[in-house]
Amino acid sequence: MIARKPEWLKVKLPAGDNYLKLREIVRERGLHTVCQEAMCPNIAECWGVGTATFMILGDTCTRGCRFCNVKTGKPNAIDPLESLKLAKSIEELRLEYAVITCVDRDDLPDGGALQMAESIRAVRRRTPHVKIEVLTSDYRGDVKALRTVIDAAPDVFAHNIETTRALTRGVRDRRCDYDQSLGVLAGAKKMRPDIFTKSSVMLGLGETDADVLQTARDLRAAGVGIITLGQYLQPTPKHLKVVEFVTPDKFAWFAEMVKPMGFHQVVSGPLVRSSYHAEQAFTTKM
């Protein structure tokens, strides 16, 4: 049985004026954030400085990955004002960098790609200076849907491979596929070579060191420029159990092994999540 959570994974409770202001705006506008839905351990740090990852297309995912705390089921209809509410919120918060993610919407013909594109454009119209990162679905490998998002010109296109090839079937929903994720990332880079592409890997699910490094090589071969590695934390008893709490030293070791592969940015640590310190992609030197 896995031991209780180690000291390096304990974080402070959310507090502070910026946190309270952002929470109020999200609630008033009927928006959703992956910070809340996925119980991100960095919510106090990120919201405390006025940054958040906004989640569009509602709060209900059509897939049921075994690690994810976002609720799954039959989603509601898309809010026609969602993009406008999002853009107004980002403007009001005076953000310099905005991350927009989404639930999987396999019930929609385009998987929600058009709504993602409209959200990017709505933010651009109100705050053209803001850098925009999107964290998207795999759109079931639909090239047309991917093109819809890429044509809206995000600054960073992210799609998470989540785990190693060997663990994919037991960790992700059956509609997710390791090679399909690599194909989406490679396709985005091919469509827009000038944008950063990004992916994230969770550790502590029973993966081997060799498999983690191979996943990094696979991502780099697909043109991915930014990789994040973080500790998986079990959100509820019904989700996958943690096999191992990876130490900070081991995360540092992974970073040192992965950096020579040619990534623009490597972020590796127990509390790292896909969008953690995302804005640093534009301050990191090649």
CA–CA separation, 100 and 256 (whole Å): 29
Q: What is the pLDDT of residues 216-252, one digit of tens each?
A: 999 999 999 999 999 999 988 999 999 999 999 999 9
Residue among 173, 230, 165, 161 nearest 198 (CA): 161
pLDDT tier at 42, thresholds 50, 70, 90: low
Q: What is the pLDDT of residues 139-190, one digit of tens each?
A: 999 999 999 999 999 999 999 999 999 999 999 999 999 999 999 999 999 9
Mean pLDDT of the chain: 87
pTM, to two decimals = 0.88
pLDDT at 54: 86
- Among 28-42, 78-92, 107-121, which stretch is predicted with the lowest mean pLDDT? 28-42
pLDDT at 39: 54
Where do the domains of the chain lie?
Answer: 14-278
User: Residue 201's beta-bridge partner residues?
Assistant: 162, 229
pLDDT at 286: 44
14-278 is a CATH 3.20.20.70 domain: yes
- What mean pLDDT do residues 31-39 have? 57
Q: What is the enclosing helix (H) or strand (E) of 197?
A: strand 196-203
pLDDT at 6: 83
Identify whether the C-beta of residue 188 lies closer than 8 Å to the C-beta of residue 151. no
DSSP 8-state assignment for residue 8: G
DSSP helix/strand/coil, 72 = strand
pLDDT at 34: 57
Sign of CA dihedral 273, 61, 207, 41: positive
pLDDT at 280: 62
pLDDT at 272: 86
